[in-house]
Amino acid sequence: MSPASAVTAESLPLTGIRVIEFSHMVMGPSCGMILADLGAEVIKVEPRGRGDKTRYLPGSGSGLFPAFNRNKKSVQLDIAEARDRETALSLIESADVLLENFRVGKMESMGYGYEELSARNPGLVYCSLKGFLPGPYGRRAALDEVVQMLGGLAYMTGPPGQPLRAGASVNDIMGGMFGVIGVLSALRLRERTGRGQVVNSALFENNAFLVGTHMAQAQLTDEPLRPMPTRMATWAVYDIFRDRHGSQIFVAAVSDGQWRDLCEEFGLDDLLADPDLDDNQGRVDQRDRIHRTLQSALSALDLDAIEAKCTRRGLPVARVNTPADLTADEHLVVSGALASTGLPPPSEAEDGPRIDLPLLPLTLDGRRLGLRSDVPAPGEHNAELRDHLGVDRPDGPDTTATDNPEEF
């Protein structure tokens, strides 16, 4: 367990807040995990049997459940079935927040809409995470890919004619974060009014927020928008170069001072002496020449030497890593930014694996918000929560009619 886990639940800001999470995939679980990391008691409601289908996704989906479900409790209920309805309603009546990210109308069709639930629990904050906020697209199915294509992010990411999905679920995760912001705001307002409210966050509107700078550029300039790989340069040195072995490294110089430091550190005396390169625009105009000269100098060095030289002069520099490299990253390891997180065992005869996962990228009073409990097994907290509520129903087969896990 990470040293950051020394932070106790009692010292966390959301201690005493109960969240009932009806969600799957990324957007809902990431919202719930942030609330859990902040100290809330997050109770994840999963279908009977094997639980949330996200647990069993193959390939690039295999990391979704482990990454977004620590610090939670798991109970299994057939929320569409009469036998578990009272248990589900009792949980919701005891809650401060309900969190859901199923397709539009699904919760309402099962009798778990805000109007019905707020009549039983007027202080309930109902956080609904969707593909789109209400409007002409409001009932469309959405994925991160859908809104990245529709919202221009894929256009800006890939080379011309080849729109490319960003390499992480940026809208799902950031949409979950905006859900958290909305929940915290609604809880603060409830302190004054005593009443909860509906909080909505959506993938498409989040994506529009992400590309807002490009939207502004399109309206303020006469230049057509160009994808990031071919964008008009803002600085002459803001690119990926190669070392003597062909390994990649990003180097930048974004001020006149950094330009001088770069030239002095890498022996670019001819460039430094050229008056045409004294200002940023002059350097941008001769970007190709500068690149050729700088690349020639970097080709004589290895990554360690380039990194050391840039760091010594305060120049922006970064090796081109893969996510797999981050589990051994010196800064993340030494600073306690990773938590060794246990996963449910594949069988009773085996221990579950432990994997290193990033904690929230913030500190409170200098402390990380750490791991308090591992990723739960399906229904791991059934007895605890049902005993607490005075409800006891035997487990049965998985009869829940679950949604397509990719439909939001």
**Cα–Cα distance for residue pair 290/105, rounded to 1 Å:** 57
The one-letter amino acid code at 31 reads: C
3-state secondary structure of 250: strand
Pick from 126, 70, 74: which is nearest to 100 by CA? 126
Is 187 within 8 Å of 141 (Cβ atoms)? no
What one-character DSSP code corresponds to residue 98?
A: E
Instruction: Tell me if residue 172 is catalytic.
Output: yes
**Cα–Cα distance for residue pair 243/18, rounded to 1 Å:** 52
Output the CA–CA distances (angstroms, integers) from residue 159 to 154, 233, 356, in the order listed: 10, 15, 33
**Cα–Cα distance for residue pair 357/53, rounded to 1 Å:** 21
Which of 172, 243, 261, 374 is catalytic? The answer is 172
Residues 6+ apart with CB under 8 A from 84: 77, 78, 393
Angle at 390 between CA 385 and CA 394, to 5 degrees: 70
- Pairing relationship of beta strands 18-22 and 367-368 according to DSSP bridges: unpaired
**Cα–Cα distance for residue pair 156/388, rounded to 1 Å:** 51
Output the CA–CA distances (angstroms, integers) from residue 283 to 130, 249, 275, 345, 374, in the order listed: 46, 21, 10, 58, 52
Residues 6+ apart with CB under 8 A from 263: 269, 271, 272
Q: Calculate the CA dihedral of residues 305, 272, 231, 224 and round it to 10 degrees.
A: 170
How is 130-151 classified by DSSP, letter by letter? Answer: ESS-SSTTTT----HHHHHHHT
Is 398 within 8 Å of 48 (Cβ atoms)? yes
Output the CA–CA distances (angstroms, integers) from residue 188 to 96, 200, 265, 347, 385, in the order listed: 12, 16, 52, 43, 27
Residues 6+ apart with CB under 8 A from 240: 248, 249, 250, 320
Proportion of the chain in helix, strand, coil states, percent, rounded to 5: 40, 15, 45
* Catalytic residue numbers, as ranges: 172
